[in-house]
């Protein structure tokens, strides 16, 4: 088992992020020492933490991450990522449309 500082180093998450994830029940320590409240994580926690790092890099919101961890099976991860890709492409298209509208507006001013 790994204490929170060691686990933070291993995963690339900060201790503050780990505490926040524990508070919202996204990544809960496997054991909390009752006397000193030290949090401990295990190898399974490491895999979940690394997944969370990637999900954040892939622009998943906290709510989406909660859904992935608690409501969806990791067997569905490929499908989840494909859905996210579609959503990101749509966001790019929407942003490009807004940029075109801005360009059109600016051309009217000239």
**pLDDT tens profile 17-31:** 999 999 999 999 999
- Could you tell me the sign of the dihedral formed by the alpha carbons of 40, 42, 45, 47, in that order? positive
* Nearest by Cα to 69 from 42, 48, 85: 48
Judge whether residue 110 has pLDDT over 80: no
The pLDDT, as a whole number, for residue 109 is 75
Model confidence pTM above 0.85: no
* Nearest by Cα to 86 from 47, 109, 59, 106: 59
Give the tens place of pLDDT for each residue, 44-81.
999 999 999 999 999 999 999 999 999 888 789 999 99
Half-sphere exposure of 66 (CA within 13 A, CB side): 10
């Amino acid at each position: 088992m790994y204490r929170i500082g060691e686990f933070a180093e291993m995963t690339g998450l900060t201790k503050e992020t780990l505490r926040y994830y524990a508070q919202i029940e996204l990544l809960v320590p496997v054991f909390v020492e009752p006397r000193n409240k030290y949090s401990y994580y295990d190898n399974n926690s490491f895999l979940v933490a690394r997944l969370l790092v990637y999900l954040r890099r892939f622009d998943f919101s906290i709510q989406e991450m909660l859904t992935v961890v608690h409501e969806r099976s990791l067997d569905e991860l490929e499908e989840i990522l494909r859905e996210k890709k579609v959503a990101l492409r749509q966001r790019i298209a929407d942003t490009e449309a807004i940029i075109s509208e801005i360009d059109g507006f600016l051309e009217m001013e000239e």
